[in-house]
Amino acid sequence: MRMRPSMRENFRYLLIRVVPEDLRFDSLDLYRSVSDVVECMYGDLLSAQIWPSVILVSGSYAIIRCRRGLESPLETALATVTIIKDKPAAVHTMLTSGTVRSLRERIPKERAVRQGKVIISKTSYNAVFYSAGKIDLKENAMYHEIPRYITEEDTEDHYYDE
């Protein structure tokens, strides 16, 4: 049986950014940190009313759900997060919205950190280095550039010429 829209629970969604950006974490790690902080600040009663939940993790950005009207206490609690996955971290609230879709559109796409040239086996490639450790190589062919994808682990024994 389907609930009428007027009887459904109303939620708000918060877009957050985790600093440092190179910290690797999943939704469970973030949830544990957020729930610990909310329980320590407000106790079990208000923590159960806020009902924080991690909806999406994308790089250093995440979307957290809470009940409508309780976004402000959750934002205050998020400002006190200092550890995620046993590593020092900080959480910054970016936006609050009533839909997940509008926040997904606001998550920035992965940007290139720097560009340069890489020489592998006496072959020169144009390279784009990303913050997540991904490196895109483009080999100049006769009519177009051929993409090659490697990671930083693959490049330990290669020399860079910028």
Question: Which amino acid is residue 126, in one-letter code?
Answer: N
CA distances from 111 to 26, 59, 85 (A): 21, 11, 25
| Nearest of 8, 16, 74, 27 to residue 46 by alpha carbon | 74
| Nearest of 118, 124, 122, 63 to residue 96 by alpha carbon | 63
pTM, 2 dp:
0.69
Contact 18, 89 (CB under 8 A): yes
Per-residue pLDDT of 25-64, as tens digits, reads 999 999 999 999 999 999 999 999 999 999 999 989 999 9
CATH 3.40.50.1980 is right for the domain spanning 5-106: no
Domain limits, CATH 3.30.70.3250, in the chain: 5-106
Contact 25, 84 (CB under 8 A): yes
pLDDT, mean of residues 17-25: 88
What is the Cα–Cα distance from 59 to 62, expressed in whole angstroms?
Answer: 8
Question: Which amino acid is residue 2, in one-letter code?
Answer: R
Higher pLDDT, 14 or 120: 14
Question: Which amino acid is residue 34, in one-letter code?
Answer: V
Quick one: tokens of 50? Answer: 């806020």
Average pLDDT of the chain, as a whole number:
84
**Confidence class for position 133, pLDDT limits 50, 70, 90:** low
